[in-house]
Structure 1
């Protein structure tokens, strides 16, 4: 049935900024512990995490958020023994890089930012390139000052690690499920047995085993088929999370015993990180395109099944769902009830206030009735000003009480008060029939006919009342 979305109350700004500072502090500690001796970290998740959070939560992106992030950055360096000057310089570059990526992504449509559009991967790549370039340019000057190496080495290493981190971590943050989001659109393996649902991720494990046995220069690409299969089968969040794990494992496996992430191997490290980035880009693009397709199908299904004006179930979808409920509940002890609801004197509303006011009245009545129903109840619009409701697992007394509640919430609903105009109120007549009154062989059509007959009597006897069939 139709229900308005509920927006959950977010954290207060001070708590959100404190949480951001602590999160960046923890992420920096992870990066610091991954530093080779005397140089930058081999894996630095803090910048990508900051960019993802600022883009995902636009209300967080205010000056105090940057201050909180700066505190987290600098505090992590200082508590681990870094020099003040180096901590301020390198972390200022970190903040500049994340800010550059945020400037690229912040004005994009939410669907793009949530990885629900085919162009999402392209925009994310552009943001990652901008953020990596700005951060590397701002920080590379520290190389001769603090690391006694050419600035070009630091430039290439900073750029490549940031590019990889942004492309692996930001998609996970942006696509993570939200408590207040609508149900996700079905993906490729929706509704299939568990064995086949696990097949894509199992193929990754198989590829890893084959790669270990065969080895060689082509081992980097062995997991590509599995990652693409996962991208076609799972949500962007699951696909991005798998890419993060697989790509980091791949990089570690290639580099172990061969590379260290210092200027001595700058060109090889650059090549490896860019290769890992491109390894993640293909599955990400496929996952975004698959999510866009699934979302388009979900919207199409919603448009077909729901009334385009009021948002409740359309006639056909309501009848189909009602038939299933009748087959399930009519033989149980409580049974079920069917209501026919008709707006009283609706033609007068259209004639006196215009069809726009009539449409707004129907929308308001549908929303008011939806809010007064139980989660398991089904509400639909049969046409014009006529609605119907199925009340599963409801006794005759319970069904009558719900019908009276619907009538009262509509009676108290004001409409037509825009622009200082006087308020108006509408009423509805309700016909109610319970499955127990028609026997165990009644179907949806019989229940609707009986409820419609009760509705006719309610109108004949003065309207604005509930009549039992």
Structure 2
């Protein structure tokens, strides 16, 4: 016996905002512990994390969210010994920075924000540049007051670290997978392989090339070491999802920056020019693979749309005739060998020509769309529904007995009869369907889908001849 799980209750707004404040607080602590003594952090993820969450979840972008984030910023600074004035000044600049980036991105469509368009990386770069400039301009005045340093050095260091953080962290947040994401397309190189081992090789080869590049540049070193990982990152961007590619870029770029800076640079005004150059270089190192990953995701989405259009009817959205035959034939053959068998229905909308003649083809199209939705609801999730042409539809019901198939057909017929359909022509339109039903058990174990469809079509003509709005078993 199966128990239906109750749907998860949505979280209360107060709990969501509290969670946001705690995330910002934790991210600030990470940045504070990465501070050189007496100056700004070498790595500050809080602003990029906040921007990514506000853009990914638009309903989160409310005044309480900014208040919760501000409290998280200030609490982290005060907890670690900062002065009130410095905490308020610098964290006001942090909030302004994230807000500026949000204003740039908030009106973009979902596909662009989920990094599924070729221009996604450029919009993200624009937002990162804007947010970094606003934050740096708002905070640089604190340099002579609290750090005894020129404001220009703080401007340079703030801008470069924010730009790097935004370009590394925000893509990971925006592209993180969720339940309704489409299944990833299998890369051509993987699909072309015939065995499990070769398929696995092509899946791990891109990330393996990154590890190899890390080993090579450790041995060789030199000024060109920053670019050693570029081929591997590009290969990962072409082979993996945008989220995986962005995550790998984050790890590799941070590791690269740490490797270059260790023992050489100190993230203070004394090395402002070198630090600026390093961070901008790391940002550009991440930008190339990100742009490739976005273009690859856009291509995959275009292929999915083409595949869907090829397999589905453009009006009703159900399977096209050829796709129904291609998917239904092996389904029938598989259940023919089982004990339950399979059933096939042919359905025809009664007096459909009159609807077109009296109300126009637009009303007829709306009626077909409405009837299709009712049929899809009445059928089981495992059943196949397709449009054979005009007002005729077919359904394949695997794993049903003759009695169960007849009950499903009757349920479908009654649901259509009782539903008023809006066609845009005044009062709702009522419609009925005639159904021809045949079960594989009645035709022997060798009957394929074509034979079952022919028998169901014969039964459909009998249903129409006997008065319509009925189910006739072949």
Residues 379 and 389 in structure 1, CA contact (< 8 A), matched pair in contact too = yes
Say yes or no: does 1:422 pair with 2:427.
yes
**Structure 1 residues 33 and 121: CA distance shift in structure 2, 3 A:** same
Paired with 1:10 and 1:188, the residues of 2 have a C-alpha distance of 40
Instruction: Determine the structure 1 residue equivalent to 2:196.
Output: none
Superposition pairs for residues 81-100 of structure 1, below 5 Å?
81-100=81-100
Residue matched to 2:390? 384
8 Å contact kept, 2:367–2:423: no
CA shift, 1:137, in A, is: 0.6
Please tell me whether the aligned partners of residues 189 and 197 of structure 1 are also in contact (alpha carbons under 8 angstroms).
no
Contact 1:100/1:131, CA 8 A, preserved across alignment: yes
1:177/1:350 CA distance change after superposition, 3 Å:
same
Q: Name the structure 1 match of 2:241.
A: 235
SS of residue in 1 equivalent to 2:41 = coil
- Aligned to 1:425, what secondary structure does the other structure show? coil
Counterpart residue number, 1:356: 362
Summarize the Cα distance change of 1:30–1:38 in structure 2 as closer, same or farther, 3 Å threshold: same
List aligned pairs for 1:400-419, cutoff 5 A. 400-416=406-422, 418=424
How far does residue 246 in structure 1 lie from its aligned partner after superposition? 0.7
Gaps in structure 2 of 5+ consecutive residues: 1-6, 194-198
- Contact residue 364 and residue 423 of structure 2 kept, 8 A: no
How far apart, CA to CA, are the structure 2 residues paired with 1:334 and 1:127? 59
Name the structure, 1 or 2, with higher relative contact order (CA <8 Å, separation 6+).
1
Corresponding residue of 2:213: 207
Where in structure 2 are the equivalents of 1:140-179 lying within 5 Å?
Answer: 140-179=140-179
Aligned to 1:270: 276
SS at match of 1:388: strand
Alignment pair present for 1:449 and 2:454: yes
Question: What value does the CA root-mean-square deviation take over the aligned residues?
Answer: 1.8
Partner of 2:59: 59
**Secondary structure of the corresponding residue to residue 347 of structure 2:** strand
Match in the other structure for 2:314: 308
CA distance in 1 between counterparts of 2:352 and 2:321 reads: 19
Secondary structure of 1:462's partner? Answer: coil
Residue 175 (structure 1) shift: 0.9
1:414 counterpart SS class = coil
Give the CA deviation at 1:224. Answer: 0.4
Q: 1:159-191: CA deviations, max 9, x gaps?
A: 111000000001111111122334345545564
SS state at 2:472 partner: strand
Q: Figure out how many residues of one structure are paired with residues of the other and give that number.
A: 462
TM norm structure 2: 0.94
Matches within 5 A, 1:221-300: 221-300=227-306
1:371 pairs with 2:391? no
After superposition, the C-alpha distances for 1:234-289 in whole angstroms (9 at most, x for unaligned) are: 11111101101111111111111212211122111111111110100000011111
Structure 2 vs 1, CA of residues 188 and 9 (structure 1 numbering), >3 Å: closer, same or farther?
Answer: farther
Q: Deviations over 1:201-248 (max 9, x none)?
A: 111111111111111111111110000000111111111011011111
State the 1:329 CA deviation: 1.8
Query: What secondary structure sits across from 1:433 in the alignment?
Result: strand
2:117–2:294: 8 Å Cα contact kept in structure 1? yes
Q: Contact 2:190/2:202 (CA < 8 Å) preserved in 1?
A: no
Give, in angstroms, the shift of residue 330 of structure 1: 1.4
Structure 2 CA distance for aligned equivalents of residues 189 and 140 of structure 1:
50
Change in Cα spacing, 1:173 to 1:10, as seen in structure 2 (3 Å) is: farther
Q: Which consecutive segments of 4 or more residues in structure 1 shift more than 6 A? A: none
